[in-house]
């Protein structure tokens, strides 16, 4: 059995071929970072136009690297939402066309579930119940996983997502886009304790996140200490801000562990590539004697292998798919 996954929720055009036993035969990701970098963030209209230009090339490349022909694909999987509506529609329309022509089922996949699936794709034996911390450019959320394919939302961000906060501070300082990797690189040599940040806490919902307060505190430090792109304290400031974001994330995870007593911990989403966050997460898990799972860096950011894997998992669980040409994209 072969599954072809397609992912175009934001600014990566990706296609991937998996075998029925979750072997990733190909996972091609074309980033649009260079297109959006001059604007300091994703420009939705440019993103969807670029997806239109790239989609058939990327799908063709994924099939050829896998050595699989389109007519051998048994199941098509595509990100249905959440994401940028124009971008989603490109992948969805393309996948519908393929499923219709080849008369094969089409699975519409939730992008957030797919990010969590990335951890299971690389670790088939994660113990349940598990707590998953999902940290991406657009979402920051904590889920309780009772078993496979069961997700209970425990907390989410009230304002910015963690990745968005990193991206905005990087943009403000003129460091480029995406902000997370730049902050990691330029802050690597800095002192994470140089600038104080208070941990954000939501009194009424302690598992919810908020990054607007950290962002405001960061802007105040920038103003008061005269932080600038080529200034001497840039590395210290970036390390401190990154540390504050990582600690805020792990802080909520820790509260959820106290309340829910999971058997394992999962960290996923694009910001899970961040080395400081990975380290804080691992340290915390070790301190609680919990097995911890983080996808490999390439599996953290948007890619179609996780989309295909989730479709395969659902298919294996007996969830029926048809070639549904009414399938619609949803932005949130
Ligand atoms: O999950 P993702 O690829 O896209 C969404 O679904 O949003 O996440 C993209 C986010 C961006 O905000 C980017 O700055 C962040 O992931 N990111 C990182 C790193 N690599 C990507 N953040 C911190 N450190 C990194 N190394
Ligand atoms: Zn994503």
Provide the 3-class DSSP secondary structure of residue 246: helix
Q: Which residue has a Cα nearest atom 23 of ligand 1?
A: 180
Distance 183 CA to ligand 1 centre (A): 11
pLDDT of residue 148: 96
Residue 315: predicted pLDDT: 97
Q: What angle do CA 238, 240, 243 make, to 5 degrees?
A: 105
* Mutate-to-test residue for ligand 1 from 110, 271, 279, 295, highest number of ligand atoms within 8 A of CB: 271
Position 201 scores a pLDDT of 87
Q: Tell me if residue 109 falls in helix, strand or coil.
A: strand
pLDDT at 40: 86
The whole-number pLDDT of residue 247 equals 97
Burial 45-66 (b: 16+ CB within 10 A, else e): eebbbbbbebbeebbeebbeeb
CA angle 104, 107, 112 (to 5 degrees): 160
Compute the average pLDDT of residues 66-83: 98
First to last CA, the chain: 31
- Tell me how far the alpha carbon of residue 87 lies from the centroid of ligand 2, in angstroms: 13
The predicted structure's pLDDT at residue 309: 98
Output the residue whose Cα is nearest ligand 1's atom 14. 180
Residues 164, 136, 2, 93: is their CA dihedral positive or negative? negative
Atom of ligand 1 lying closest to residue 170 CA: 14
Which phi and psi (to 5°) does residue 31 adopt?
Answer: -85, 145
The whole-number average pLDDT for the span 125-154 is 97
Whether the predicted pLDDT of 103 surpasses 90? yes
What is the percent of the chain where pLDDT is above 90?
Answer: 97
- Is omega for the bond preceding 289 within 30 degrees of 0, making it cis? no
Cα–ligand 2 centroid distance for 51 (angstroms): 15
What residue owns the CA closest to ligand 1's atom 2? Answer: 270
Cβ 167 vs Cβ 140: under 8 Å: no
Mean pLDDT of 27-39: 95
Q: Which ligand is nearest to the CA of 33?
A: 1
Question: What is the CA(168)–ligand 1 centre distance, in A?
Answer: 12
- 10 pocket-lining for ligand 1 (C-beta < 6 Å): yes
The answer to whether the CB of 262 is under 6 A from ligand 1 is no
Q: Which ligand sits nearest to residue 162's alpha carbon?
A: 1
Which of 116, 163, 176, 241 is the pocket-test mutation for ligand 1 (most atoms within 8 Å of CB)? 163
Alpha helices, DSSP H only, in 261-318?
A: 275-287, 297-300, 304-316
d(CA 97, ligand 1 centre) in Å:
30
Residues 10-39 have a mean pLDDT of 97
In angstroms, the CA 140 to CA 181 distance is: 17
Question: For a pocket test of ligand 1, which of 156, 180, 276 has the largest count of ligand atoms closer than 8 A to its C-beta?
Answer: 180
Check pLDDT > 90 for residue 32: yes
Mean pLDDT of 93-101: 98
Residues paired with residue 130 on neighbouring β-strands, in sequence order: 145, 264
Beta-carbon contacts of 283 under 8 Å, excluding residues fewer than 6 positions away, are none
- Mind giving me the DSSP string for 181-214? HHHHHHHTTS-TTSS--PPP--SS-TT-B--HHH
The pLDDT, as a whole number, for residue 145 is 98
Residue nearest to atom 22 of ligand 1 (CA): 180
Distance 54 CA to ligand 2 centre (A): 18
Q: Which atom of ligand 1 is nearest to the CA of 179?
A: 14
Mean pLDDT, residues 135-139 taken together: 93
Q: What is the pTM of this model?
A: 0.96
Q: 177, 303, 187, 174: which is closest to 245 by C-alpha? A: 187
Please give the distance, rounded to the nearest whole angstrom, from the Cα atom of residue 162 to the centre of ligand 1.
9
- Does the beta carbon of 81 lie inside 6 Å of ligand 1? no
The mean of the pLDDT values for the chain is 97
Structure confidence by residue, pLDDT tens digits, 162-206: 999 999 999 999 999 999 999 999 999 999 999 999 999 888 999
What is the average pLDDT across 269-275? 98
Please give the order of strands across the beta sheet that includes 130-135.
152-156, 140-145, 130-135, 264-268, 292-293
């Amino acid at each position: 059995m072969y599954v072809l996954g397609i992912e175009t929720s934001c600014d990566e055009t990706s296609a991937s071929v998996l075998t029925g036993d979750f072997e990733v035969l190909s996972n091609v990701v074309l980033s649009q970072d260079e297109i959006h970098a001059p604007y300091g963030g994703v420009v939705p209209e440019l993103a969807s136009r670029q997806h239109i230009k790239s989609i058939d090339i990327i799908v063709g490349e994924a099939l050829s690297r896998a050595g699989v022909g389109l007519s051998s694909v048994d199941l098509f999987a595509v990100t249905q939402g959440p994401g940028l509506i124009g971008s989603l529609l490109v992948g969805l329309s393309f996948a519908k066309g393929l499923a219709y022509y080849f008369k094969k089922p089409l699975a519409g996949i939730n992008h957030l579930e797919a990010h969590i699936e990335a951890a299971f794709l690389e670790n088939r034996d994660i113990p349940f119940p598990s707590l998953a911390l999902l940290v991406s450019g657009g979402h920051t959320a904590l889920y309780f996983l009772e078993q496979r394919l069961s997700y209970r939302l425990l907390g989410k961000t009230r304002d910015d997502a963690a990745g968005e906060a990193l991206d905005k501070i990087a943009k403000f300082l003129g460091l480029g886009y995406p902000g997370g990797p730049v902050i990691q690189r330029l802050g690597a040599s800095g002192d994470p304790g140089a600038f104080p940040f208070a941990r954000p806490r939501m009194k009424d919902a302690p598992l919810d996140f908020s990054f607007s307060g950290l962002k405001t505190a960061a802007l105040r430090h920038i103003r008061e200490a005269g932080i600038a792109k080529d200034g001497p304290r840039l590395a210290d400031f970036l390390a401190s801000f990154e540390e504050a974001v990582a600690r805020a994330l792990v802080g909520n995870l820790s509260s959820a562990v106290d309340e829910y007593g999971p058997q394992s911990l999962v960290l996923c989403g694009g910001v899970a590539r961040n080395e400081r966050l990975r380290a804080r997460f691992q340290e915390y898990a070790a301190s609680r004697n919990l097995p911890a799972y983080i996808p490999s860096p390439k599996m953290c950011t948007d890619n179609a292998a996780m989309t295909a894997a989730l479709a395969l998992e659902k298919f294996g669980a007996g969830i029926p798919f048809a070639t549904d040409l009414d399938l619609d994209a949803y932005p949130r």
